[in-house]
Amino acid sequence: MRIKTLVLTAAAATTLIVGCSTAEKAVDTATKAASSAAAKVAPKAKPKLMNGASAEMLAVTCAGCHGTNGASNGPATPTIAGLEEEYFVDVMKAFKSGDRYSTIMQRIAKGYSDDEIAAMAGYFSKMPFKPALNQTARSETGARLHEEYCEKCHEDGATDPEGIVLAGQWVPYINWTMWDFANGVSQINSKKMKKRFEKMIAEHGKKSITELVAFYGSRSK
């Protein structure tokens, strides 16, 4: 009598287990079907922002390095708030192609479509540039060099928010960026800037970069 109950119980248990794994298999098959259906749809849907993340959602990924609202806590990561929209797009493309040298950004930039980059460019360009103040003692030589070779495009001592701001950008970042230009590690897209930059180095030597960096890093407001 006792044995029979045990056997019955064991049989019941077996049924339960079998039932359970059958149910699991069913769920599994359904999931596979659903995900293969999703996979068929996904490649078409991905580049379209309407079906994906908003610029604000995309920008969350950048905050870990570039700071909340694009204002970096430095020193080797630039502030990206207030970057000119067109420049933002160009530099992301240059990171992708390697025209602009990067330690990190090539890999990151490659993860975004043109539409996503354009959306982020619009989003960050509308934020105010928040300068990192007084990182260096002001170089008068740097101020003069800037006036002669750079002011034409980077106006108001490179503080003009409508242009590409250099003054108050983090010093280690701007320093390496300029050395990468000077050493040909990064390409300067703007032909006119390339000419001016090369002229300055031909006439004043590479030490002019150090002077300029000291000028840009001395921003006080």
Please, what is the minimum distance in Å from the beta carbon of residue 56 to ligand HEC?
A: 12
Binding of ligand HEC at residue 123 (CB under 6 A)?
no
Exactly one of 67, 78, 82, 217 binds ligand HEC (CB under 6 A); which one? 78
Is 19 or 205 the residue whose CB approaches ligand HEC more closely?
205
Q: Does residue 209 contact residue 178 with C-beta atoms inside 8 Å?
A: yes
Residue of 49, 55, 62, 182 interacting with ligand HEC (CB under 6 A)? 62
Joined together, the tokens standing for residue 140 give: 């008068």
Residues 138, 140: Cα–Cα separation, whole Å: 6
**Tokens, residue 176:** 């390496």
Q: Any contact of residue 119 with ligand HEC (CB under 6 A)?
A: no
- Considering only 197, 211, 214, 218, the residue that binds ligand HEC (CB under 6 A) is 197
When the beta carbons of 66 and 219 are compared against ligand HEC, the nearer one is 66
Sequence-distant (≥ 6) Cβ neighbours of residue 136 within 8 angstroms? 171, 213, 214, 217, 218
Task: Out of 102, 141, 159, 210, point to the residue binding ligand HEC (CB under 6 A).
Answer: 102
Least distance between ligand HEC and beta carbon 188 (Å): 5
Rounded-to-integer distance, Cα 155 and Cα 11, Å: 85
Taking CB under 6 A as the criterion, the residue among 81, 88, 119, 214 binding ligand HEC is 88
Number of residues engaging ligand HEC in binding (CB under 6 A): 41
Question: Could you count the other beta carbons within 10 Å of the beta carbon of residue 58?
Answer: 17
Considering only 3-11, 28-36, 41-49, 192-200, which stretch makes contact with ligand HEC by CB under 6 A? Answer: 192-200
Structure tokens at 196: 């001016």
Q: How far apart are the first and last CA of the chain?
A: 93
213 is a site residue for ligand HEC (CB under 6 A): no
Place of tokens 């840009």: 216
Interaction mask 163-182, ligand HEC, x per CB under 6 A:
-x-x--x----x--xx----
Structure tokens at 111: 């993860």
Taking alpha carbons only, the member of 167, 201, 177 closest to residue 99 is 177
Q: How far apart (Å, rounded) are the C-alpha atoms in residues 161 and 14?
A: 73
> If you search the block for the tokens 């975004």, which residue do you land on?
112
The residue whose two tokens read 């409508």 is 162
In the complex, minimum distance from the CB of residue 189 to ligand HEC, in angstroms, rounded to a whole number = 3
Site residues (vs ligand HEC, CB under 6 A):
61-62, 64-66, 76-78, 80, 83, 87-88, 90-92, 102-105, 108, 120, 149-150, 152-154, 164, 166, 169, 174, 177-178, 188-190, 192-193, 196-197, 200, 212
